[in-house]
Structure 1
């Protein structure tokens, strides 16, 4: 019987209805929220207002999501590939060029792999001698021919052109082998024949030879200067796949960047080859590989290319 007071077992929205079902232990519904209003308009899940009260934020200085600052530093090295403006450029060699280091590097690499280099020098000599013999009848003396020497005959001119072109290809083959040495790989015979692009190689050799010849006619000194500044045109063609004009320009800028040291190195390398020629020519079997490797080492150091000791 009702007493007129509040009956916790009665539904306040339906006083005459059934009491609430027993919850066991007379505990209120979990969460302490009032029952949902009649009519079925339930709020979507998860959108309940926070309980009253001024609760402090959780302890700790946590940054907002997604707003993390970049890691300290910021001076990250560039990805590998490409040569820098100078120094070792990510390689393993020294960053400064010296004449002694270049020559000792050339000797060390040659002495570790002399067989293939000596054989390649011998092959180069034999090829040039064969070309000269084919176009001159294996007669190396100057013959008079209607007032002109045989050197100015049609066969002699053709032979000179063919000999020059073959010489450029041989030079490129030696540069390819020297680049392999500087990269830390002992060249095999197959390394020397990978001289593509042959067209750029031949054109570069012709332009450098022509410029040197014209300079020699102009009081000799301009020809020597041009030959010195175009010294590394062939390595730029082989190593960086540049065309002839670009390679000559690149050589000019690279040589000029360290002209003093490179001039001393050029004198030293020429002196080594002269000494090799004085030893009955047999010394060239050693001096030519050593000087080519030393020159390629200097090219890589000066242009910031990699060098593996």
Structure 2
């Protein structure tokens, strides 16, 4: 198939439909663990003074997301290669050192932006909004970083450069795909969150297919 956002989603749906159990199971586990972290660190207590606990919650959420995204990325690439990843594929970390470094860098602007957006000072709030916009742009350009680290054993800096070069060369199609996948996940979240059990795997597989297709690799 030639690359279009529609073809990416179609491919992802076909692969997911043929192997839904491990994807749904691991995605559900991810959601449950996020809920446990939120509950254990006071995230559901709106009246308590939980500033420190919320910082702990944010850190644990980031770490958990990084761990799961490592195995999600591996499984997405496996689907594109024509494999049917089983639960074992979701329990092994790969190239986690560079992956963790990339996760830290990718999270910096977002971490800076969040407190500034809510600041009472107009100037700080404006800086926060600028940082938030910059974080979105950076996230868009670096969205293939994890894929390059897992697929080609690159270091974090090399993977980031490769992602920027690859996305810039395909900025129009990738922007459309990014918006499409974001909209699909919003719809999944609106279905009491249960739709995310399907839309998150779809987004992972579609992104892996786009990466492989647009960087010249052959998807089965």
- What band does the TM-score fall into relative to the shorter chain? 0.7 to 0.9
Q: Distance in 2 between matches of 1:170 and 1:300?
A: 21
Name the counterpart of 1:292: 204
Name the counterpart of 1:182: 80
Name the counterpart of 1:104: 10
Name the counterpart of 1:162: 60
Q: Distance in 2 between matches of 1:269 and 1:114?
A: 18
Within a 5 Å distance, the mapping from 1:107-256 to structure 2 comes to: 107-136=13-42, 140-145=44-49, 150=50, 152-153=51-52, 155-214=53-112, 217-219=128-130, 220-256=132-168
Q: Distance in 2 between matches of 1:135 and 1:214?
A: 21
Name the counterpart of 2:213: 301
CA drift at 1:214 = 4.6
Q: Distance in 1 between matches of 2:181 and 2:47?
A: 35
Say if 1:168 and 1:205, in contact at 8 Å, map to a contact too: yes
CA drift at 1:134 = 2.8
TM-score, length of structure 2 as denominator length? 0.87
TM-score, length of structure 1 as denominator length? 0.63
Say if 2:75 and 2:85, in contact at 8 Å, map to a contact too: yes
SS of 2:154's equivalent in the other structure is coil
Q: Distance in 2 between matches of 1:142 and 1:181?
A: 41
CA drift at 1:307 = 0.8
Give the RMSD, CA atoms, in angstroms: 1.7
CA drift at 1:306 = 2.6
SS of 1:143's equivalent in the other structure is coil
CA drift at 1:242 = 1.3
Say if 2:109 and 2:134, in contact at 8 Å, map to a contact too: no
- Which structure has the greater CA radius of gyration? 1
130 and 215 in structure 1: CA distance in 2 versus 1, 3 angstrom threshold: closer
Q: Could you list the runs of 5+ residues in structure 1 that have no partner in the other structure?
A: 1-93
Are 2:182 and 1:270 equivalent residues in the alignment? yes
CA drift at 1:218 = 5.0
Deviations 1:161-219 (A, max 9, x none): 12211111111111111111001000000111222222222211111111344578252
CA drift at 1:243 = 1.6
Say if 1:276 and 1:283, in contact at 8 Å, map to a contact too: yes
Aligned residue pair count? 206
Deviations 1:37-67 (A, max 9, x none): xxxxxxxxxxxxxxxxxxxxxxxxxxxxxxx
Q: Distance in 1 between matches of 2:157 and 2:183?
A: 29
Q: Could you list the runs of 5+ residues in structure 2 that have no partner in the other structure?
A: 115-127
Structure 1 window deviating more from structure 2 (104-113 vs 206-215): it is: 206-215
